[in-house]
Structure 1
Amino acid sequence: MATLHILSHSPFTDSRLTSCLQLLGAQDAVLLTGEAVYALQPGSTPLNTLSALPDSVALFALDEDLQARGLGTPARVTALDYVAFVELCTRFNRVNSWL
Structure 2
Amino acid sequence: MSTLHVLSHSPFSDNRLSSCLRLLGSRDALLLCGDAVYALQAGTTQRQALELMPDAISLYALDEDVQARHLTPPERLNLIDYPGFVALSCQYDKVNTWL
For residues 52-79 of structure 1, the C-alpha deviation after alignment (integer angstroms, 9 at most, x for no partner) is 1110000000000001111122101001
SS of equivalent residue, structure 2 residue 50: helix
Listed as ranges, the gaps of 5+ residues in structure 1 are none
Q: TM-score, normalised by structure 1?
A: 0.97
RMSD: 0.6
Rounded to whole Å, the distance in 2 between the matches of 1:76 and 1:91 is 19
Listed as ranges, the gaps of 5+ residues in structure 2 are none
How many pairs align?
Answer: 99
Pairing 1:86–2:59 present: no
AA in 1 matched with 2:2:
A
Pairing 1:75–2:75 present: yes
The residue aligned with 2:41 is 41
The residue aligned with 1:52 is 52
For residues 69-99 of structure 1, the C-alpha deviation after alignment (integer angstroms, 9 at most, x for no partner) is 1112210100100011100000000000001
Rounded to whole Å, the distance in 2 between the matches of 1:7 and 1:36 is 6
The residue aligned with 1:3 is 3
Q: Percent identity?
A: 57
Deviation at 1:43, TM superposition (A): 1.3
Deviation at 1:23, TM superposition (A): 0.8
Rounded to whole Å, the distance in 2 between the matches of 1:22 and 1:73 is 22
Q: TM-score, normalised by structure 2?
A: 0.97
Rounded to whole Å, the distance in 1 between the matches of 2:32 and 2:49 is 14
